[in-house]
Amino acid sequence: MAQQSINIGTVANDGTGDSLRVAFDKSNDNFTELYNRIADSVPSVATGATGDVAGMIAFNGTHLYVCVGDYDGSTDIWFRTSVSTF
């Protein structure tokens, strides 16, 4: 799904923007897509698991994991980098 922008109209309260219901429906859809990209747990192997798709992220106290491909059972799709302070 592509990001859904809320139409705010051209001038405040001019009646040309999205209704509250439509605006919050778009907001809910956008947040659902973001939450679906966060893995439930860090991957245990680089090849991932069924349901893993490109764009997912996972993290723990020491690493950030990024999924760069869709799960196929043999290709390494998860990559990680160490988390450090700056």
Q: Amino acid identity of 32? A: T
Domain of residue 51: give its range: 39-86
Q: Is residue 17 exposed (0-12), middle (13-18) or buried (19+ Cβ within 10 Å)?
A: middle
pLDDT at 1: 76
Do residues 79 and 51 both lie within one domain?
A: yes
Do residues 32 and 45 both lie within one domain?
A: no
pLDDT at 70 over 90: yes
Separation between Cα atoms, residue 60 and residue 43, nearest integer Å = 11
Do residues 47 and 30 both lie within one domain?
A: no
Closest-CA residue to 6 (of 34, 14, 20, 15): 20
Do residues 54 and 77 both lie within one domain?
A: yes
Do residues 55 and 26 both lie within one domain?
A: no
Per the structure, the count of domains in the chain is: 2
Q: Which of 17-21, 39-43, 82-86 has the lowest mean pLDDT?
A: 82-86
Do residues 27 and 64 both lie within one domain?
A: no
pLDDT, one tens digit per residue, over 2-40 is: 889 999 999 988 889 999 999 999 999 999 989 888 988
